[in-house]
């Protein structure tokens, strides 16, 4: 999703945890640029402050543990 749609979706469902996916997993080319380029940092800063704290941008191979 693009930034505006992602922001609207996140602010509507108010999740406890937000994990952007697929950014940095593919090398952008002219043919795939539309769906391979993500903007997780811009999305995080556009969210309401409480939701910015719920945003977790993991690097490849990192694990986030959610305590039950």
Q: Where are the domains of the chain?
A: 3-53
pLDDT of residue 42: 94
Higher per-residue confidence, 24 vs 61: 61
Res 39 pLDDT > 80: yes
Q: What is the mean pLDDT of the chain?
A: 89
Q: At 52, phi and psi to the nearest 5? A: -60, -35
Res 35 pLDDT > 80: no
For 7-30, how does the pLDDT look when each residue is reduced to its tens digit (9 = 90+)? 999 999 999 999 988 777 778 888
pLDDT of residue 38: 77
Tokens 């539309």 — which residue? Answer: 34
CA–CA gap between residue 1 and residue 17 (Å, rounded): 18
């Amino acid at each position: 999703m693009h930034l505006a749609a992602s922001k609207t979706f996140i602010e509507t469902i108010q999740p406890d945890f937000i994990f952007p996916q697929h950014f940095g997993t593919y090398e952008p080319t002219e043919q795939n640029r539309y769906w391979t380029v993500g903007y997780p940092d811009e999305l995080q800063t556009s969210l309401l402050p409480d939701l910015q704290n719920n945003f977790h941008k993991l690097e490849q191979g990192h694990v986030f543990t959610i305590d039950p």
